C-alpha cells in the first residue's frame, strides 16, 4: 500500500501537573511547567505506527504547530515510529490564540501538499477539550470523518482496498463501518495503548528529518476571531459540616431552605 498518513500531535501541559491560573487571569501558567504530548495524540501516533507495521501504509508523518519546543513532541512521535516530521512555526501572540479552526486549516493545506491518504488525530486536547479539529479538518477537505471510538470500545482500524474499515463495539454488539479514503480518523482513549519509546528508537529518531514550514507558506491565516476575556479557577469546594444528631440535620436542612 502506498498510503501516507498524517498524524497531528499537540504539545500540552502534562496531564499530572497541577494547573495554576496566571495572576492577570488571561490564561494559565505555562512557563517552566512540564509539557508533554497530548495523550489522545499519543494514541493517534500509536495507531498510525501500527498501520505501518501491518504494512497497510507506507509512511507516517508527524505534524505539530507551535514554537520551537514542539520539536520535542515531534521527536517523541518519531521515537514511537513515525518516519518524518513537519514543524509548522507559530509563536508568540499567534500561538496563544491558535485554535482548532486555524490548525484544521493548516492540516488541510498540508494534507493536500503531502498528498496524504489518511489523517489520524487525537479526539481532543486535554488543555482546551475542544474536540473540533478532526471534524473541521474533514469538512475543509470534504473528506469523511470517523471516530473509531465514539465513546465505546474500538476494536480495530484497517485498510482494505481503498476503504478504511473500522470495527467498533456498540451496545448491541460489533459494528463494522467502511468509509472511503481519503478520510480523517480521530482516536479516543480505548483505541490502543501507546508504546514506550525504546532507546534504540530514540537514537534512530535523532536522525529522522523534521521540516520547518510557516503558515503563510501554506496560504493559511492564523489570526483568531476569538478573544479570551478571562480565565478563572473553579470555585473552591466548600467544606462539609458534621452534625451530631438527626434533629440537627433536619434543622440545618431547613435553614438552608432545602426542606
Partner 1 sequence: INLCHLLSTIDMGIFQRFARIPLKSTYIWSLCRQYSTDLTAVDRALIQHRCVHNRGLGASPGNPGAAPPRLPFSRVTQEDLAFFRTLLPGRTITDPDLLKSSNVDWLKTVEGNSEVLLRPKTTEEVSQILRYCNERNLAVCPQGGNTGLVGGSVPVFDEIILSTSLMKQVITFDNISGILTCQAGCVLENLSNYLEERDFIMPLDLGAKGSCHIGGNVSTNAGGLRLLRYGSLRGTVLGLEVVLADGRILNCLATLRKDNTGYDLKQLFIGSEGTLGVITAVSILCPRKPKAVNVAFLGCSSFQQLLETFQCCRGMLGEILSAFEFLDASCMSLLEKHLKLTNPITESPFYIVIETAGSNATHDEEKLHKFLEEVMTSSLVTDGTVATEATKIKALWSLRERVTEALTHEGYTYKYDISLPVEKIYDLVQDMRGHLGDMAKNVVGYGHVGDGNLHLNITSPSKDPALLAAIEPYVYEWTSKWKGSISAEHGLGLKKRNYIYYSKPSEAVALMGSIKAMLDPKGILNPYKTLPDNIH
Contact set with partner 1 (CB under 8 A): 14-17, 32, 34, 36, 193, 196-200, 202-203
Q: Which is nearer to partner 1, 6 or 13 (CB)?
A: 13
Least Cβ distance, residue 72 to partner 1 (angstroms): 9
Closest CA to 102 of 140, 70, 129: 140
106, 84 contact by CB (below 8 A): no
Least Cβ distance, residue 253 to partner 1 (angstroms): 26
Least Cβ distance, residue 206 to partner 1 (angstroms): 9
Longest dimension (CA), the chain: 75
What is the DSSP code (8-state) at residue 220? -
What is the DSSP code (8-state) at residue 205? H
Closest CA to 121 of 76, 180, 179, 64: 64
Q: Which is nearer to partner 1, 80 or 183 (CB)?
A: 80
Q: Which is nearer to partner 1, 12 or 98 (CB)?
A: 12
Distance CA 259, CA 257 (A): 6
Q: Which is nearer to partner 1, 61 or 210 (CB)?
A: 210
Q: Which is nearer to partner 1, 45 or 57 (CB)?
A: 45
Least Cβ distance, residue 197 to partner 1 (angstroms): 6
Closest CA to 205 of 43, 62, 37: 62
Q: Which is nearer to partner 1, 3 or 125 (CB)?
A: 125
Least Cβ distance, residue 16 to partner 1 (angstroms): 3
Distance CA 38, CA 40 (A): 6
Beta strands in 68-112 (DSSP E): 84-89
Amino acid at each position: 500500500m502506498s498510503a501516507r498518513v498524517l498524524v497531528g500531535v499537540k504539545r500540552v501541559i502534562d496531564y499530572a501537573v497541577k494547573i495554576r491560573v496566571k495572576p492577570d487571569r488571561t490564561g494559565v501558567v505555562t512557563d517552566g511547567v512540564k509539557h508533554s504530548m497530548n495523550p489522545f495524540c499519543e494514541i493517534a501516533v500509536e495507531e498510525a505506527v501500527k498501520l505501518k507495521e501491518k504494512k497497510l501504509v507506507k509512511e507516517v508523518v508527524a505534524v505539530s504547530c507551535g514554537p520551537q519546543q514542539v520539536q520535542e513532541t515531534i521527536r517523541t512521535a518519531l521515537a514511537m515510529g513515525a518516519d518524518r516530521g513537519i514543524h509548522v512555526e507559530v509563536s508568540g501572540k499567534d500561538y496563544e490564540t491558535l485554535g482548532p479552526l486555524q490548525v484544521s486549516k493548516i492540516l488541510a493545506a498540508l494534507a493536500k501538499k503531502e498528498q496524504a491518504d489518511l489523517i489520524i488525530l487525537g479526539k481532543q486536547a486535554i488543555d482546551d477539550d475542544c474536540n473540533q479539529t478532526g471534524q473541521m479538518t474533514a469538512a475543509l477537505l470534504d473528506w469523511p470523518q470517523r471516530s473509531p471510538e465514539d465513546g465505546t470500545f474500538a476494536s480495530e482500524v484497517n485498510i482494505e482496498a481503498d476503504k478504511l474499515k473500522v470495527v467498533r463495539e456498540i451496545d448491541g454488539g460489533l459494528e463494522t463501518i467502511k468509509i472511503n479514503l481519503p478520510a480523517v480518523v480521530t482516536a479516543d482513549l480505548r483505541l490502543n495503548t501507546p508504546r514506550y519509546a525504546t532507546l534504540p528508537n530514540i537514537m534512530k529518531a535523532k536522525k529522522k528529518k523534521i521540516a520547518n514550514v510557516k503558515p503563510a507558506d501554506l496560504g493559511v491565516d492564523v489570526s483568531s476571531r476569538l478573544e479570551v476575556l478571562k480565565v478563572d479557577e473553579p470555585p473552591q469546594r466548600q467544606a462539609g459540616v458534621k452534625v451530631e444528631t438527626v434533629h440537627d440535620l433536619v434543622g440545618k436542612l431547613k435553614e438552608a431552605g432545602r426542606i
